[in-house]
Amino acid sequence: MGHILIVDDEKSISDLIVMNLTMVGHTSEQAFDGREALEKLRAGHFDLCLLDIMLPGKDGFELIDDFKKANVPVIYLSAKSSLTDRVKGLNLGAEDYIIKPFETLELIARIDVVLRREGKNKNIFTHNKVTVDLNKHLVLKDNQVVDLTSQEYLLLEALILNQNLALTREQLLSIAWGYDYSGETRTVDMHIQRLRKKLEWEDIIKTVFKFGYRLEVH
């Protein structure tokens, strides 16, 4: 997982992002204006910056050169939704541009894409006797490879990357299967049962009543 700098002058939005990043295993720090962002950048090490554009003092478009010099990839988070602003942000060197308001699952997914692309995602997940290496797509139990189908692995990856978040069956189908499934969502239940059995994870793959599932870790 990554260490992420959140630069946004709206504290409520910044605090919500911190909460969701913490739930899925990332660590983070906050800055609320351009000056504080530069101070944090110079004082610490970050794997990624979530950068608002409309900031007091130096705005997000002006700040990106400082992050590029420090080799910190940037994802813009902004209410500026025009095509001109999006193209400008990407041309300046941002890895992605997300328009507010955004869905938490989308933000987490886009963060994961950038961290993986930059080789900065520390994607080793362990619980009891099981180790999952998300970079190598490798699952070990008692140091032996676990025989998972490709679909079981994709479902497992979706649960890990969104750990502690309650996911509906429809969301899991969209993330792990890659499309909206028009039939019974019972296929998710069957795959969850198989994962629980193969990994002996009955304790952390929780059923959320009348909703879906959550990988609950502390």
Q: What is the mean pLDDT of residues 181-206?
A: 88
Please give the pLDDT value at position 205: 97
Distance CA 112, CA 61 (A): 23
Secondary structure letter of residue 176 according to DSSP: I
pLDDT at position 133 over 80: yes
- The CATH topology of domain 3-117 is Rossmann fold (3.40.50)
Distance CA 202, CA 112 (A): 26
Please give the pLDDT value at position 120: 73
Phi and psi torsions of 168, nearest 5°: -70, 165
Tokens of 56: 């007091």
Per-residue pLDDT band at 122 (split at 50, 70, 90): low
Query: Tell me: the pLDDT tens digits for 143-161?
Result: 999 999 999 999 999 999 9
pLDDT at position 184 over 70: no
Query: Tell me: the pLDDT tens digits for 23-50?
Result: 998 999 999 999 999 999 999 999 999 9
Q: Which residues pair with 29 in a beta bridge?
A: 5
Q: How do the domains of the chain map onto residue ranges?
A: 3-117, 124-215
CA dihedral 143, 159, 177, 132 (to 10 degrees): -20
Please give the pLDDT value at position 123: 79
pLDDT at position 116 over 90: no
Place of tokens 């541009």: 97
Secondary structure letter of residue 53 according to DSSP: S
Question: Coil, strand or helix: which one is 125?
Answer: strand
Please give the pLDDT value at position 99: 96
Average pLDDT, rounded, for the chain: 92
Separation in Å, CA 218 to CA 24, 28, 54, 88, 184: 10, 17, 35, 40, 32
Q: Which residues pair with 168 in a beta bridge?
A: 212
* Residue 28 identity: S
Please give the pLDDT value at position 18: 97
pTM beyond cutoff 0.85: no
Q: What is the CATH number of domain 124-215?
A: 1.10.10.10
Query: Tell me: the pLDDT tens digits for 68-77?
Result: 999 999 999 9
pLDDT at position 139 over 90: yes
Q: What is the mean pLDDT of residues 47-71?
A: 95
